[in-house]
A = this chain, B = another copy of it.
Amino acid sequence: MSYERGPSFEGGVALPWGFLAGAVRAGIRPDVDKLDVGILYSEVQCTAAAVYTSNRVKAAPLVVCQEHLADGRAQAIIANSGCANAATGEQGLADARAMAERTAAKLGIRPRDVLVASTGVIGTFLPMERVRDAVSRIELSPAGGPDFARAIMTTDTRPKCNSGRCGQQGEEYALWAVAKGAGMIHPNMATMLCFIATDAPLAQPYLAACLREAVDVSFNMIDVDGDTSTNDTVIVLANGLAGGEPIDERHPAADAFRSALTDCCVRLAKAIVADAEGATRVIECTVEGAASPEDARRAAREVVRSLAVKTAVYGCDPNWGRILAAVGNSGAEMIEEKAALLLSAPENSAVYLYRHGAPVAFDEAQVRACLAGREVCIRVELGLGEGAATAWGSDITEEYVRLNSAYTT
């Protein structure tokens, strides 16, 4: 009944039944030679849901998405990289609408069934002539997923995709998902886009609830640099071509679909962190025994956000006091004497660093081994209640600074 990860994306996973995709290079940034406009399309109208950035500055495409998704239906997504179309006023809004209209005309569907997403530099206008031309040149095919994934990349070094199946024999559904991340990543979403396609039949309210829940434990629990972008969008399209009754909370496959969607989002969230700008390591922080679930989320997020923690992990430095300081700084309830800190790497046993309000003598070599791998696991035990949460962050390196000090130039 659980979500099984399919073969790796790079191996060429097909889109779920009825979905087509494609991408071309429009040259939105003339200096960057990559695919930059892509379309994801379903041959039939889909039940759809989305989650957007919490930033008060919302990019024009998000405004269009919200309007077009008012009925919970959609059939296509047009996405571009290189320009965020954010902070662009009336002109930006007109451009986002024009993207939807041009795409609808090409596909022979209603503009309001087209969703729009943009990522890239804030405060510049889209070169609409090039975008329109690109839309007309895009060729859609069931094998177009990889190109679409590349078209939404900015400073990502690799496409991030995921696919799998859930449900049981006779009632099995395919999920396919793509994301981009790299920078401006902070709990409450970030310069990240994620598009999920499934052939499962879904009741819209249940789909929206499942997506909200999945985002809360995945994309809202990752941090690259503490900045929340203006363009964050997660969209799921469910075309129902696998057949059967629409899945709602009483459907036999309800739990399987919900956990598959969550699993899929968690994998992509971790993939975003692993490919963060300049990052060398993934920091996983699990907080247990918090006074409330919200306290656990807060503490876990603050640990993976802390620059002091990120730089210490980068340097393989067992400077655990910075972790404790981050927890103390999170606003979560905490009593020093009840708190404990442990460090481990996947497959390794955990080492106590701090317990009963005082440092624990530890084997430095063992701790350094925990810090040396690609994934560093921090466990915080607060000893106050039942609240638990996990967050993921990247380390911060000189390369992050280099990349970000010369982004538009």
Does A80 touch B at the CB level, under 8 Å? no
A239-264 Cβ-contact flags toward B at 8 Å (1 or 0):
00000000000000000000000000
For window 356-409 of A, CB contacts with B under 8 Å fall at 356-359, 396-398, 400-402, 404-409
Of chain B, the residue at the smallest CB distance from A336 is B57
A92-109 Cβ-contact flags toward B at 8 Å (1 or 0):
100000000000000000
Please state if A404 and B315 are interface contacts (CB–CB under 8 Å). Answer: yes
For window 287-308 of A, CB contacts with B under 8 Å fall at 305-308
Q: Enumerate chain B residues within 8 angstroms of A55, measured Cβ to Cβ.
A: 325, 328-329
Please state if A408 and B87 are interface contacts (CB–CB under 8 Å). Answer: no
Q: A123-B321, A319-B408, A322-B122 are in contact. Are A56 and B328 (CB under 8 A)?
A: yes
Q: Give which listed residue, B88, B184, B400, contacts A325 with CB less than 8 A.
A: B184
Please state if B307 and A226 are interface contacts (CB–CB under 8 Å). Answer: yes
Please state if B324 and A122 are interface contacts (CB–CB under 8 Å). Answer: yes
User: What's the nearest-Cβ distance from chain B to residue A402, in Å?
Assistant: 7
Does A354 touch B at the CB level, under 8 Å? yes
Does A347 touch B at the CB level, under 8 Å? no
Does A31 touch B at the CB level, under 8 Å? no
Question: Which of A229, A315, A318, A400 lies at the interface centre, i.e. has the most chain B CB atoms within 10 A of its CB?
Answer: A315
Question: Which of A183, A230, A329 lies at the interface centre, i.e. has the most chain B CB atoms within 10 A of its CB?
Answer: A329
Does A127 touch B at the CB level, under 8 Å? no
Taken together as a complex, chains A and B put the C-alpha atoms of A91 and B359 apart, in Å, by 10
User: What's the nearest-Cβ distance from chain B to residue A5, in Å?
Assistant: 32
Q: Give which listed residue, B58, B321, B333, B405, contacts A121 with CB less than 8 A.
A: B321
Does A334 touch B at the CB level, under 8 Å? yes
Please state if B334 and A57 are interface contacts (CB–CB under 8 Å). Answer: yes
Please state if A227 and B401 are interface contacts (CB–CB under 8 Å). Answer: no
Q: Enumerate chain B residues within 8 angstroms of A228, measured Cβ to Cβ.
A: 325, 329
Q: Give which listed residue, B56, B328, B402, contacts A230 with CB less than 8 A.
A: B328
Q: Enumerate chain B residues within 8 angstroms of A320, measured Cβ to Cβ.
A: 122-123
User: What's the nearest-Cβ distance from chain B to residue A340, in Å?
Assistant: 11
Taken together as a complex, chains A and B put the C-alpha atoms of A285 and B228 apart, in Å, by 19
Taken together as a complex, chains A and B put the C-alpha atoms of A337 and B402 apart, in Å, by 33
Q: Give which listed residue, B56, B121, B359, B398, contacts A319 with CB less than 8 A.
A: B121
Q: Give which listed residue, B321, B400, B409, contacts A317 with CB less than 8 A.
A: B409
Taken together as a complex, chains A and B put the C-alpha atoms of A337 and B57 apart, in Å, by 10
Does A143 touch B at the CB level, under 8 Å? no
Taken together as a complex, chains A and B put the C-alpha atoms of A326 and B190 apart, in Å, by 12
A23-55 Cβ-contact flags toward B at 8 Å (1 or 0):
000000000000000000000000000000011
Taken together as a complex, chains A and B put the C-alpha atoms of A306 and B184 apart, in Å, by 9
Q: Give which listed residue, B58, B225, B401, contacts A314 with CB less than 8 A.
A: B401
Question: Which of A89, A91, A123, A315 lies at the interface centre, i.e. has the most chain B CB atoms within 10 A of its CB?
Answer: A123
Please state if A124 and B405 are interface contacts (CB–CB under 8 Å). Answer: no
Please state if A87 and B312 are interface contacts (CB–CB under 8 Å). Answer: no
Please state if A89 and B357 are interface contacts (CB–CB under 8 Å). Answer: yes
Taken together as a complex, chains A and B put the C-alpha atoms of A92 and B226 apart, in Å, by 33
Of chain B, the residue at the smallest CB distance from A333 is B56
Please state if B226 and A325 are interface contacts (CB–CB under 8 Å). Answer: no
Does A268 touch B at the CB level, under 8 Å? no
Please state if B321 and A84 are interface contacts (CB–CB under 8 Å). Answer: yes
Does A327 touch B at the CB level, under 8 Å? yes
Does A161 touch B at the CB level, under 8 Å? no
Q: Enumerate chain B residues within 8 angstroms of A129, measured Cβ to Cβ.
A: none
Q: Enumerate chain B residues within 8 angstroms of A58, measured Cβ to Cβ.
A: 328
A-B contact pairs, 22 of them (CB 8 A): A55-B328, A56-B328, A87-B324, A87-B336, A89-B357, A91-B358, A121-B319, A123-B319, A123-B353, A123-B359, A183-B308, A184-B308, A225-B308, A228-B325, A228-B329, A307-B307, A311-B405, A312-B408, A317-B407, A317-B409, A398-B402, A400-B401
